[in-house]
Amino acid sequence: MEPAIDTSPVSGSRNVFDTNRDDLFATTNRIDWPGPNSYRSSIGAPGPDYWQQRADYTIVATLDTATTELSGSVQIRYTNNSPDTLRYVWVQADQNLYRSGSKGSALFPADSRWGVRGFQGGYAFSDVSVNGISVQPRIDDTMMRLDLPAPLAPHGGKATIAIRYSFRVPAHGSDRMGRDSSLYELAQWYPRMAVYDDVRGWNTDPYLGQGEFYLEYGDYDYSITLPAGYVVAGSGALQNPEQVLTAEQRRRLTSASTSSAVVQIIRQAEAAAAKNQPTAGTKTWRFRARNVHDVAWAGAPDFRWDATSWNGILMQAYYEFPKAGKAWEQAAEQTQWTIRQYSELFFPFPYPQATSVAGPVGGMEYPMFVMVHYGSDDPTSIFGTINHEHGHEWFPMIVGSNERRYAWMDEGINTYLNAFANEARYPGQSAYPGYLRNWADAVANGTQSPLMTAPDNIDPTALGAIGYRKPALVLLTLRNHVVGADLFDKAFREYIRAWAFKHPTPGDFFRSIENGTGEDLSWFWRSFFYTTDVLDIGIDSVTMQSSEGQNFARISLHRLTSVPFPVRFRVAYADGSTEDFSLPVNIWAHGNRFDAVVPARGRVMGVRLWPDPSVPDWNAANDTWGKPPAANAPGPVTRR
């Protein structure tokens, strides 16, 4: 196993459960498991009375590149599908992260990934109204409360919220958005409705910079006015190509929409000429996106634009060359490959296009649109990020979990998906060792926290481990070593189908997997999601015995942590042959020691736990006895 780390005890771990006191197989039933009820069923699917709110948007915005300010108006048509009468609503005002004294600016160092980097900005609001009646917003950091002129009726009551707003765009990227010279990447660029759900009511967790988003689904129509020489890429489908593209660009785009080969919509010479010969005036780009919970866009005067397609879906890459690196000439194909891969493995991509944009933001995802860092000449320098960010089209764009509360439901599940894609793209490479190393670093550094920890409460240095790699690794472990690949894959696909365009909780995921696989996995969720303990099972001794002419091996096993796990071991006989045995997880129900007595074909010379080396047992030193047989050859852990 890699790496071999001594963790007895684990330095800095904060175990929630005492090994000798708690019932490891007790049913897990916490606040994260609402229901079962008529809203959320016992099988982990939406119940017969499941509801969620709806928010449809019309946004009209103008980017002034001279002042680096975006100004606009948003009209939100909000539908109250809940059984509750609402007398106020909450709106997300994420740009207020950049206000002096914001909660987020105080939490992270200014120059960190999530810091505000010394930028002073924030929203300026005016003309706020509900159903045409002026209201006074009450702003609390990155959240804004609007008291309604009249109560909003349950089961379909509607209100129209109108807001005029403006803000200055941060320079050089601030994790989620920013600008680099004439290139702009715009996200969190309009006030967005907070989620009102059956679990917590209003979800008003502030935006602090590290945690991401939780938003309502709806339809978007938005328009961006900016200098005429700019090319805009955005979420959704372009609605006015005749007004913003040349006849030749439209011809190429039509060709790309049915081509599996990459078509250059704007070529390098054309991009360079556009930047060197500015066009006077402005242009307005209009986009439409259906059944999404957010939109984002980017604009630059010198974008190269490549496109291709698969299964009727347009795949696009926008980048400045040579700044973005020669790797970006492969970005449209990499986008196409990624969307096809996840569509075939998990759930069909439901949108008309998918876009990748190169820029100062290192990696960020929005419906049909992702921001990716600049690359080098090596195509692999951008593939991992393109693949990861477009994986988010499934989690949380299609399956709309609460990212601000549960990073593992967003980043972790997406990193699980990435393991399959990376191994398919680069056969023979396994994601497992890298995932394990990242988790092991957090354990060794004492920066772990349970997977159920909200992202903003995770040590920033451990977010990659706790938000991304550990949850991906434990899901791979659950699939490959606990319930089996076939059952897990069916249960996982059913979870996606059931919760597509809805808001699942952790409990919905847990119940869905348990029902789909037919396993009570309370012990697994408790061990790997609610504690920081690690798996460490060892062999104390091996003895031979016989009874009525039959030889047996007594293998004494010892569980050194609070984490139970089904045991698989391989014995080596004196004649050179080997034999594998499996024991269920319930062997640990009555203590932390178990004697496995198994029939032996001959004298046992050695024993090895975990013949498949991808089980994350933390201490390899106690996993063998005698002259152990060889483990299986390392290989992909995600083969389907």
CB 433 within 8 A of CB 636: no
Confidence of residue 21 (pLDDT cuts 50, 70, 90): very low
The band of 209, judged by pLDDT with boundaries at 50, 70 and 90, is: confident
> Is 60 exceeded by the pLDDT of residue 497?
yes
| Cα separation, 637 vs 399, whole angstroms | 25
166 within a domain of the structure (yes/no)? no
Residue type, 93: A
Asked whether residue 128 carries a pLDDT value surpassing 60, the answer given is: yes
Q: Is the dihedral of CA 491, 496, 497, 499 positive or negative?
A: positive
pLDDT of the residue at 102 = 87
Q: Is the residue at 555 inside a domain?
A: yes
* Residue 599 falls inside a structural domain: yes
Enclosing domain of residue 552: 537-626
Measured CA to CA, the distance from residue 478 to residue 419 in angstroms comes to 14
User: Phi, psi at residue 420, to the nearest 5°?
Assistant: -65, -45
CATH number (domain holding residue 572): 2.60.40
**pLDDT digit string (tens) for 135-170?**
999 999 999 999 999 999 999 999 999 999 999 998
- Quick: pLDDT tens for 505-546: 999 999 999 999 999 999 999 999 999 999 999 999 999 999
Sequence-ordered list of residues with C-beta below 8 angstroms from that of 59, at least 6 positions apart, any chain: 72, 73, 74, 75, 190, 220, 221, 222, 223, 295
pLDDT at residue number 7: 31
User: Token pair of 412, please?
Assistant: 């972790």
Chain segment 77-116, per-residue pLDDT in tens: 999 999 999 999 999 999 999 898 888 877 776 666 666 6
Q: Encode 390-420: b = buried (16+ Cβ within 10 Å), e = exposed.
A: bbbbbbbbbbbbbbbbbbbbbbbbbbbbbbb
Q: Is residue 553 part of a domain?
A: yes
Number of H helices, E strands in the chain: 14, 31
Q: Is residue 532 part of a domain?
A: no
Local confidence band at 5 (pLDDT 50, 70, 90 cut-offs): very low
Output the pLDDT for position 17.
35
Decide if 438 is inside a domain: no
**For the residues 570-592, what does the mean pLDDT come to?**
97
User: What confidence score (pLDDT) does residue 15 get?
Assistant: 38
Residue 16 is assigned to a structural domain of this protein: no
**Predicted pLDDT of residue 170:** 87
Taking each helix axis as running N to C, give the angle between helix 506-517 and helix 485-499, from 0 to 180 degrees, rounded to the nearest 10: 140
| Mean pLDDT for the stretch of residues 197-224 | 93
Note whether 387 and 421 are within 8 A (CB).
Answer: yes
Record the tokens describing residue 98, joined without a space.
Answer: 């950049």
pLDDT digits (tens, 9 = 90+) for 441-471: 999 999 999 999 989 889 989 999 999 999 9
Is the model's pLDDT at 335 over the cut of 70? yes
Tell me the per-residue pLDDT of 171-184, one tens digit each, with 9 for 90 and over.
876 678 889 999 99
Domain assignment present for residue 158? The answer is no
314 - beta bridge partners?
309, 353
Q: Which strand (E) or helix (H) includes residue 232? A: strand 231-234
Q: Give pLDDT, residue 269.
A: 96
Q: How many domains does the chain have?
A: 1
Taking only the tens place, the pLDDT of each residue in 385-420 is 999 999 999 999 999 999 999 999 999 999 999 999
